[in-house]
Amino acid sequence: MEEQGYDVDDPIGPETSLVQDLGFSSLDFVQLIVDIEAKWARKLGFQDLLLKNGVYVKDVSVSEIESFLAAQLSSVDAPSAPPGPVSATSGHSAVRQAAIPGDAIPPITAESVVAFRQSIRPRQLPAGSSSTPKNPRAVFVLSPPRSGTTLFRVILAGHPRLFAPPELYLLMYDDLQQRRLELAGDANSHLLEGTMRALVELEACSADEAEARMAAWEQQSLPTRDFYGYLQSRLGDRLLVDKTPLYPLDPSILARAELDFEEPLYIHLVRHPYGMIRSYEESQLDRFAPVLYENSFHRRQLAELTWYVSHRNILDFKASVPDGRWLQLGFESLVTQPEHEISRLCQFLGLDLDPAMLQPYSQPERRMLSGAKQLTRMPGDLKFHLHKGIDPEAATRWQQFLPSDFLGDLTWDLAEQFGYERQQVRQLLEAQGLLR
């Protein structure tokens, strides 16, 4: 570590812990990962070390890193089995079952969509009173998980007129106590950190103070609508941005935004379904536990269904929103033409382009890139921290790993509405000798 420039005072041994003994923050740990992978010139899948049964570890020892590296380096060239199906157990964890060949996974159908929708936990969200004043305007980023939303949030956070904290997980709950009861389990507790990180930033307080304040509000069952209002009262002339990728899975959650806010703005972020599915499978996102749903779909099916149902709900919701309050952006255009797309974004928001938005890895504290407690439990997408700039290759990286055109016809019909072409995928597979 000293060779890499890390400031280490005490001797390091196998049992030395990175957080407790060396005081590593999440970003320190990510930098260590970057250095290790640069040395070996390959990606080593460190997310498997950071996540145990769907929960971020709180610390890692030197011996654990050594063992992990030895295992990864010995198996890095070995073929990997396709990911297995997912089964939710006791509502708090998801486990992988026996892997099955990828070509044996049934394509999703209309029946699959119905079953998936039925598996989503129904929300009992009160309609609210028309006599209750709405909160001021806010911005909602609508997109399924693994669609580039963490990068997008951090781009937004670079503008001085925007306040874009990590995922808030507020709109889906009536009050803060209800939110804690659902998210406080081991597999989901990291989802509570976005609100605490927002308080740390707005109040210039410690993580412990923010946690105590949240605990008091949770005990009081403070309505989430009022908590949003409190955050906005601390913003001055800044707009609040809420980027929580699970909102689009339930139409009632989307409708809540119109009830609780005065003419909110919506940014619909779209990514190629194969890109989203590849990222979902790679991150094993289902291990974070089904906050909204429990089912036994195969991981690949679950990813595709999440993409389809989220975007279907978003488009249905769009029909009730005036055009002037809606902007659609493509992830692929965002990473290949960032200045053009971010200029479009700023024009929609009524803001001037700020150059800092084009440098999303600068000013990490201002962009709230670390967790509230500076541990390894990082908000948003861990993979974001392993890059150093907007990566245009992220637009098409999935093409290297595509085994076949396995999308269901329903998914393709919707994808083509967004400009993604099935014929282009077939040509890609044909060129690789994979078209069947």
Using CA atoms, how far residue 402 sits from 33, 109, 149, 386, 432, in Å, is 27, 20, 22, 23, 10
Please check the confidence at residue 77 and state whether its pLDDT lies above 60.
no
Q: Write out pLDDT tens, residues 229-255.
A: 999 999 999 999 999 999 999 999 999
CB 224 within 8 A of CB 171: yes
Residue 75 pLDDT exceeds 80: no
pLDDT reported for residue 431: 85
Does residue 346 carry a pLDDT above 60? yes
Examine the pLDDT at 326 and tell me if it is beyond 90: yes
The yes-or-no verdict on residue 197 having pLDDT over 80 is yes
Burial class (CB in 10 A: 0-12, 13-18, 19+), 98: exposed
Mean pLDDT, to the nearest integer, of 270-281?
92
**pLDDT number for residue 380:** 45
Better pLDDT: 48 or 164: 164
User: For residue 358, how many other CB atoms are within 10 A of its CB?
Assistant: 16
Burial 328-341 (b: 16+ CB within 10 A, else e): ebbbbebbbebeeb
* Contact assessment for residue 249 and residue 147, using Cβ atoms and an 8 Å cutoff: no
CA-to-CA separations, 194 to 1, 232, 372, in angstroms, rounded: 31, 15, 8
pLDDT digits (tens, 9 = 90+) for 198-236: 999 999 999 899 999 999 999 999 999 999 999 999 999
Q: Which residues contact 44 (CB under 8 A, 6 or more apart)?
A: 33, 36, 37, 69, 72, 73, 76
Q: Is there a contact between 26 and 32 (Cβ–Cβ < 8 Å)?
A: no
Q: How far apart are the first and last CA of the chain?
A: 50
pLDDT at residue 415, as a whole number: 97
Higher pLDDT, 367 or 372: 367
pLDDT at 88 over 50: no
In the prediction, which pLDDT does 84 show?
44
pLDDT for residue 3 is more than 60: no
Predicted local confidence at residue 343, as pLDDT = 98
Whole-number average pLDDT of the chain: 82
* pLDDT at position 174 over 90: yes
For the chain, give the percent of residues with pLDDT over 90: 51
What CA–CA distance (Å, rounded) separates 218 from 321? 32
pLDDT band of 370, cuts 50, 70, 90: low
pTM of the model: 0.78
Separation of alpha carbons 134 and 257, rounded Å: 10
Quick one: pLDDT band at residue 311, thresholds 50, 70, 90?
very high
Angle at 150 (CA atoms; ends 353, 346), nearest 5 degrees: 15
Residue 273 pLDDT class (50, 70, 90 cuts): very high
CATH of region 138-431: 3.40.50.300
Highest-confidence segment of 48-52, 148-152, 258-262, 404-408 = 258-262
Query: How much is the pLDDT for 153?
Result: 94
Q: How much of the chain exceeds pLDDT 70, in percent?
A: 75
9: confidence class by pLDDT, cuts 50, 70, 90: low
